[in-house]
Amino acid sequence: MKIKINGVDADIQPENEKTIGEILGALDGWLAGSGHRLSGLNIDGKTVSAPEMEQSFSRDIETIDTVDICTTSLPQLVADSLGATMRDIEEFQALAFDEKAGFTEKWKTSPQGCLLAEQYPELFNWTVKSFSGEGCSPQVLVALIEERLRELTDPVGEMSRTAQLVDDICVRLAEFPLDIQTGKDARAAETVNIFSGIAEKVFRIYHTLKIEGFPVKEIKVDSTPINEYITEFNKALKELLDAYERRDTVLIGDLAEYEMAPRLRGLHTAVWGVVKGENK
């Protein structure tokens, strides 16, 4: 049996697999690692419909000449789910009051709801709360979704636009210990929230760029491989948050100014440098 992926011959030969389902199971780890998901199946030139999919898994590979496995990148799937959610928000707003609760429960188990719960759990929760009248307004929710869509569909442009945000928050991090010492608690809390949000945004764009084929996974930041650098970044962030909870102003000042600000700036600069080189 010949195996293709998205119409291209794959250098894959079955070993102990006997059925289509076993073949797909063996490829599952590879698909996940490459940032793709199964989106369709073609057996001997015939597209397998959704109702036929489960039955096709039991087919013996000895009875098949060619199987073409169709995949879609995870960023594209998530972008499609975000687009569907925006249409759901529009539909939700047009419903009568007594129809909204049922709509919300149905949305939670919809394909777009399930994928958002897996990939963007905080956005899933914001959507549920908004539908329940307990969270942000539909207009704010749409703005949040539009931002995530830009990260997925235009990661290069969004990384460029993030540069000013990184510069601004690094200035605020330098002022962070003084804000705490002088009783500016609201501004200090806002700085923590903004910093966390920007760091998460840079991480999300980095992962999208990696799936889209940019050589960002080979980056070294200050001679440290990027995966190790991100792990150290997250540890330092946890230490900062713990120090903030304890009101340890000395440690907060050292971490904010000498750890978090340069780490965030270094990460953004390294990723953006590779992206600019990729586009020359």
Q: Is 70 exceeded by the pLDDT of residue 60?
A: yes
Average pLDDT of the chain to the nearest whole number: 91
Q: Is 80 exceeded by the pLDDT of residue 269?
A: yes
Please choose, from the candidates 11, 14, 34, the residue with its C-alpha nearest in 3D space to the C-alpha of residue 24: 14
Mean pLDDT confidence for 242-264: 89
Q: So what's the pLDDT on residue 10? A: 87
173-189 pLDDT, tens digit per residue, is 999 888 888 989 899 89
Q: So what's the pLDDT on residue 106? A: 95
- The DSSP code sequence of the chain is -EEEETTEE-----SS--BHHHHHHHHHHHHHHTTEEEEEEEETTEEPPHHHHHHHTT-BGGG-SEEEEEEEEHHHHHHHHHHHHHHHHHHHHTS-HHHHHHHHHHHHTSHHHHHHHHH-HHHHHHHHHHHTTSSS-HHHHHHHHHHHHHHHH-HHHHHHHHHHHHHHHHHHHHHHHHHHHTT-HHHHHHHHHHHHHHHHHHHHHHHHHHHTT-GGGG-EETTEEHHHHHHHHHHHHHHHHHHHHHT-HHHHHHHIIIIIHHHHHHHHHHHHHHHHHHT-
Q: Is 60 exceeded by the pLDDT of residue 238?
A: yes
Express as a percent the part of the chain with pLDDT over 90: 70
Mean pLDDT confidence for 239-268: 90
Q: Give residue 190's pLDDT band: very low, low, confident or very high (50, 70, 90).
A: very high
Q: So what's the pLDDT on residue 279? A: 45
Q: So what's the pLDDT on residue 278? A: 54
Q: So what's the pLDDT on residue 280? A: 43
Mean pLDDT confidence for 74-100: 95
140-183 pLDDT, tens digit per residue, is 999 999 999 999 999 999 999 999 999 999 999 999 888 888 98
Q: Is 50 exceeded by the pLDDT of residue 52?
A: yes
Between 167 and 280, the more confident residue is 167
Express as a percent the part of the chain with pLDDT over 70: 99
Task: For the chain, report the end-to-end CA distance as a whole number of angstroms.
Answer: 42
The CA distance from 165 to 245, in Å, is 25
